[in-house]
Amino acid sequence: MDEEAKQILKNQVEHSIRETSKLKTLTGFFRPATCKKCEDTGYVLIKDKLGTERAVRCECMIPKMLAAVIPPEFQRASLADFSERVSNVIREWLASPGLGLLIDGDVGVGKTHLMFAILKAWMAVDPRNSERGSFFVFTSKDFYQQLRSVQTLGSSSESVTAERALMQDFGAVPMLMVDDIASGLLSDFERRELQEILGRRRGEISTGWPKPTVLTSNWNAQQIAEKLDDRIGSRLKGLKNLRLMGKDARR
């Protein structure tokens, strides 16, 4: 290739680079990342207890995650919506969740609202808490529907396998939240499943450490034991109890 041809080619390449970068600027390709922590990748590297680096969801992803799991009316739920007494109890509990929390109180005092505020506060404690599979949050209806779903499977061996898998998942998930746990009359099957899940989460079956469970109910533990099953009641022992009252809701 002679000098002239080389120069033409060089010009063409440079021109095309300039055009491409103009285009990128126009399409916002070079706009600075809105999240400085993860540069909008959604993930950051953290070191675990053993010093191994792993990618976890960046905290800027939490609002997106929440939008997917929280019903619209509770998206803005916050501990600030409750009395100082309540937010203090929750903050203290979050530092050491132990077996979990039972929130009881009359209908309409804001138990569901508080449960979602707690979920958000719990996620903010550690970015790993917002990762897929690190929590399950259910309404009573969806929770029992999940339990019943394994009962209705075709062959009995299929049903047993599915039930085992479900018990394992519900027993091992780092955080389980169920709203209105003792609503309505539970079938024997539902009581047995609930009892097993609570037992597993306490560490009765597996050797795993206790996993926190957050439950809300119109009834306190004593009433749940009397009205539902005292074996369920006994598996609520050791959960921190918070009685929510009308005056605790700030709005």
- Contact status, residue 98 vs residue 210, Cβ threshold 8 Å: yes
Task: Give min distance, CB of 59 to Zn ion, in A.
Answer: 7
Q: Which stretch binds Zn ion (CB under 5 A): 51-59, 62-70, 173-181, 218-226?
A: 51-59
The one segment of 38-46, 125-133, 153-161, 242-250 that binds Zn ion by CB under 5 A: 38-46
With contacts defined by CB under 5 A, how many residues of the chain interact with Zn ion? 5
* Under rule CB under 5 A, residue 249 binds Zn ion: no
Distance between CA atoms of residues 48 and 92, nearest Å: 24
* Share in percent of the chain as helix, strand, coil (round to 5): 50, 15, 35
- Per CB under 5 A, the segment of 35-43, 107-115, 160-168, 213-221 that binds Zn ion is 35-43
Which of 38, 115, 225, 242 touches Zn ion by CB under 5 A?
38
Backbone angles phi, psi at 58, to 5 degrees: -70, 150
Q: Mark residues 109-138: x for contact with Zn ion by CB under 5 A, - for none.
A: ------------------------------
Distance, in Å, from the CA atom of 239 to the CA atom of 214, rounded to the nearest integer, reads 9
Query: Which x/- pattern, by CB under 5 A, does the window 60-89 give for Zn ion?
Result: x-----------------------------
35 sits near Zn ion (criterion: CB under 5 A): yes
| Residue 152 DSSP SS3 | coil
Instruction: Kindly state the smallest distance separating residue 65's Cβ from Zn ion, in Å.
Output: 12
- Alpha helix stretches (DSSP H) within the chain: 3-26, 62-69, 84-95, 111-125, 140-149, 156-172, 188-202, 221-227, 230-234
Q: Give the whole-angstrom CA distance, residue 37 versus residue 60.
A: 8
* 37 is a site residue for Zn ion (CB under 5 A): yes
Among 56, 57, 58, 103, binds Zn ion (CB under 5 A): 58
Q: How far is CA 226 from CA 114, 171, 185, 199, 230, in A?
A: 25, 24, 13, 18, 6
Residues in contact with Zn ion by the rule CB under 5 A: 35, 37-38, 58, 60
